[in-house]
Amino acid sequence: MNKDLLPHFLIVGAPKCGTTSLHFYISQHPDVNTSPKEIHYFGKDLQYKTKRPKLEEYQNHFSNKGLNGDASVWYLYSESIFKELKDLGITPKIIILIRNPTEVAYSLHSQNIVDANENELSFESAIKLEEQRKQGLKLPKGVDPPRTVLYKDTCSYFPRIKKFQDEMGTENVWVGLQENLRDTPDIFLKEMEAFLNLSHFNSYDFTRQNENKTVKSKKINYLIKKAGPVQIAIFRFLIPFKSLRKKIVDSIYFGNLEVEKRSKLKSSTKLELQQEFNPEIKKLNNIIEPDISHWIV
């Protein structure tokens, strides 16, 4: 095993906090090699249903020159990742993006609908199911990974960030705010370059990625995102060329989506979540460098 073909840094989350944009930006740096977003080589305990790459496949995305990076948001919630990294003999630097938890919970619900991971179209109804879903009940059919519909638990950053600090060393864990990446991406990238000991790159394309989308037809969306093995086999038989299949699927999938600003969260729901998250925000503010006291209401 060539350790030079393993990640020097991991963008481990959190979901809906700008990791897609950050992956897009940092991948442009001439001294950085990144694997595809959400490759999820690590995190064997996350119960992913999609096939995870073998080590050789994973290493094919990296180079002996420069820094190698992997951006997979659910790593933040893995307990097994620390042993997996230790078994490979590596201590990559950890990058964590966070955002106001109330915003993340609402945004993640919207994303799950687009990904056909959520059957409760009402956010309020979905968060009421959280405790049952933790027990494996009331989970949407085909949800992958199951924890993506645990909205409040996903926004519980403190224990996860503390765990990464304890296991990887505080000096190896860098926490950034989504709002800073959004508003001043040039400054954000300079700070991240300094953390990774990278030279400064002046030519980033800061086009925003992964903007909020809505689904036109939920039936079409579900058929594409959650096609069964028989449906897949028939499609492959009828259209044997992989590139043509991808072109057809992408055309139907993206044609069924439209970029649309999300409707405002109900004020009562927003206040309830804000008050619930307040104690943890205060604890988190004590262990990270960015000030998040403005999240407290």
Residue 4 above 90 pLDDT? no
Burial class (CB in 10 A: 0-12, 13-18, 19+), 238: exposed
Contact of 79 with 20, CB cutoff 8 Å: no
pLDDT of residue 292: 98
The domain spans of the chain are: 3-101+153-210+277-295, 213-259
- Within 13 Å, how many C-alpha atoms sit on residue 34's CB side? 20
**What pLDDT, in 10s, does the model give residues 186-196?**
999 999 999 99
Poorest-pLDDT segment among 68-72, 146-150, 239-243: 239-243
The mean pLDDT value for 124-131 works out to 97
**What pLDDT, in 10s, does the model give residues 251-291?**
887 777 776 667 899 999 999 999 999 999 999 999 999 99
pLDDT of residue 58: 96
pLDDT of residue 227: 74
Residue 267 identity (one-letter amino acid) = S
- Gap between the Cα atoms of 7 and 85, Å rounded: 10
> Which of 3.30.70.890, 3.50.30.40, 3.40.50.11140, 3.40.50.300 would CATH assign to domain 3-101+153-210+277-295?
3.40.50.300
Beta bridge partners of 34: 69
What pTM did the predictor assign?
0.86
pLDDT of residue 218: 64
Across 89-121, b (16+ Cβ under 10 Å) vs e yields eeebbbbbbbbbbbbbbbbbbbbbbbbbbbbbe
